[in-house]
A and B are shown apart, each in its own frame.
Chain A
């Protein structure tokens, strides 16, 4: 019953006219920006972050939640209609979504995606409602060693399982942590790595880093290189309603995808991208005719989209209850709350119930808005896809500059953005992934504070991390994660070797 009363309180907050308005604006703008080619969820949130500075915390969180949903769905539109994965978690959607567009079924694909994401997000929200309180109860018992071990697990998982080489992912996490040490030391007040620049005393600005890495470096890479693909798809509002047979065909894939997303959401290591791949391969295995996949199978669109949305929803639990974000988007949301002077953590539910339950209820409101809004607006989104890049990137640069400048009223930060843009370009060239850098930067102060406090309390004895049961559990999971990576590699190598030796013999 408490879950229900909490939820109804949340709806009271989320449906207050002004809050509802910000939620609506968030979904609208997020959807608009997310549709634009080359703009992922991260870029959308970081560019629109400054809009929240003038708002009160509740409205700011609702706006960001809306932007997040809108951008995510916008990314799906982009991948289905243009075959461009704007966000890695939509990469799988392209495989069958684009063939559907070529077959003239773009409307159906978009329609079932809306339904699947709404269903999956609703399930995720229910899970959040049921389990947040339990997580908070455990988290209230956390001391410094537990916090450190939990964050270590989050960082390792974020690094090893992002995309590409796990070693390089962890290296990027460490780079993020090192960037986080820039500025004033929390205990002694000593400046570190500031090189005489007073502006670096407060540390590196997350918005500057995010927009440099995800905005500027992307434009540097794409300018004059991105081919404009004109989508031939014509989608009208009534095309969105799927046929009954399509609905029947996509119902179980949707349920399975949601389940995969929820289960993987609870594993700290598995983010939306991986969960979408898992659910795609499950559908392919279960299908009567697997050869349909890759040629516009509706299951291949529905199931991954459902699992992504469910997974992301579950990711909100550690972010809001422990203050430990599981991925880069959550890190940005967390930092937006920190700017507002609100520290997510076990106390948040008690001290700011309006934010906590309001956000959860607004997820639902946002999803309903998304469904309703996309019926009349889908034609507009399709037109937006055709905006030429030569107009897009200068405009985006303007928003980036004004956004970073307004964060701290500091032009130095705009310079920082440029610096990280160029650095990011070099890192792209060496095939590094950026998402772990953001996670490292956001978590560093907490990691260092808790590590130093734990060491102070245990008189420098590292065993404190394995003597305490909850902390030992996290450390055990870390070890499993690393061993799993190593043995996974060795195993796939051993399987490959015979093939590799046969080739030169022929």
Chain B
């Protein structure tokens, strides 16, 4: 599969670092800077942001100057179903753990993320989710006594 962008990868990598660095330096400079002999909270973050932006410029420049052919990318676009299910499963875990408790959250996480694999079946995912939830609760809630609410019963 083709990469979703043209040109040299390191130019984009450098640009991303420039953006990150500039953002960090901008926010950092809003905090009191102080002076070198008595630094305020903004001094170190702002300097780090500037250094990062500088490194980003260097990374991009080296890539532009270099005559070395781009190495073949070893990655591809993420698998859409797989990645959406993993992200969805994690979101479901956070929401359900907050409102319903650990047991439903674990089941949802494992079930949803397992469905991301194209070879997985509904039954297989459900079975895996039940087994992992049961074992997980056994180990973490009973053996290690972590104080998580298993179920939350309120409207």
Contacts and interface: CB of A to CB of B under 8 A. Distances in A.
A132 interface: no
Contact of A220 (B52, B83, B105, B146): B83
Interface string B76-100: 1011011101110111011001100
Interface string B109-145: 1110110111110001100110011001000100011
B64 interface: no
Tell me whether chain A's interface is mostly helix, strand or loop, or mixed.
Answer: helix
B24 interface: yes
A193 interface: yes
B109 A394 contact: yes
A340 interface: no
Nearest to A430: B13
Interface residues of A, number: 64
Contacts of A174: 21, 48, 51-52, 55
A460 B36 contact: yes
Nearest to B38: A456
A446 interface: no
A208 to B, nearest CB: 12
Contact of A500 (B51, B56, B67, B132): B67
Interface in A142-183: 165, 167-168, 170-171, 174-175, 177-178, 181
Contacts of B78: 220-221, 223, 425
Contacts, number: 191
B148 A406 contact: yes
Contacts of B56: 171
Contact of B55 (A51, A167, A185, A448): A167
Contacts of A421: 86-87, 90
Nearest to B141: A402
Given A188-B41, A192-B28, A431-B13, A389 B117 contact: yes
A406 B140 contact: yes
A193 B27 contact: yes
Given A168-B13, A395-B128, A430-B9, A187 B41 contact: yes
Nearest to B107: A398
A219 interface: yes
A394 B45 contact: no
Contacts of B90: 216, 397, 401, 414, 417-418, 421
A398 B48 contact: no
Given A193-B27, A221-B75, A398-B109, A178 B87 contact: no
Contacts of A388: 119
B67 A185 contact: no
A170 B62 CA distance: 14
Contacts of B120: 390
26 contacts: A54-B145, A167-B62, A188-B32, A190-B41, A193-B27, A193-B28, A223-B79, A223-B86, A391-B114, A394-B89, A397-B89, A398-B106, A401-B93, A402-B106, A402-B140, A411-B97, A414-B93, A414-B97, A417-B90, A421-B90, A422-B87, A428-B75, A455-B36, A455-B38, A456-B39, A460-B36
Interface of A: 50-51, 54, 165, 167-168, 170-171, 174-175, 177-178, 181, 185, 187-188, 190, 192-193, 216, 219-221, 223-225, 388-391, 393-395, 397-399, 401-402, 405-406, 409, 411, 414-415, 417-418, 421-422, 425-426, 428-432, 448, 451-452, 455-456, 458-460, 500
Closest 7 CB pairs of A and B: A223-B82, A460-B37, A460-B36, A185-B41, A390-B117, A394-B114, A430-B13
